[in-house]
Structure 1
Amino acid sequence: MTGEEVTNPQSIGVCTDSGGFTVIEQRIAEEIVRPLLGVVPERSDTSLIDLGATSLTLLQVFARVEETFDVELSLDDPLDQATVASLAASISAT
């Protein structure tokens, strides 16, 4: 984010209830998904395909996740990792 204070987290798609995003999920959504797709998923299990991602966009998301979190993701089936939650789980598993 740009350092601005967010007075209403819901306005930027960040869940704040107990079922909300983890810190890693929030970073993926805000720092990677938003710049590429122009939106932030309302839920961490929303498919990035449903938000308009193409196969090329998914590869860009994966590359940015690898760079941002210094991890190497398996690309066996990119569609299985097409949610913020699954990407965060892959990061946590490394």
Structure 2
Amino acid sequence: HITGPEEYFEKFHSDLGLPPYVLGEARDLWNTVKDDLSWQGKKPSGIAGVVLYRASQNSTSPRTQSEVCKVSGISEVTLRGLLKILNQMVAQ
């Protein structure tokens, strides 16, 4: 069984104490970009972290990169790298 990023969404969402609708936004965002080959070889927990980070930025309670990194177990440099990839996909 390969663990996908979506399996981390609920735990990270809960750990970050985000409003319920952010989880829905994160899932919608992931469904839009999940088939992109740029994700190959990337850590699923990191991908989940960056998707939730981006979804939280549009919410009433955005989380910092540092908070997201703590729950997802990645560095801020990694988060910013993944965010760059995600932002490019969304812009297309």
TM-score bracket for this pair, using the shorter chain length: 0.3 to 0.5
Higher helix fraction (1 or 2): 2
Q: TM-score, normalised by structure 1?
A: 0.33
Q: Which has the larger radius of gyration?
A: 1
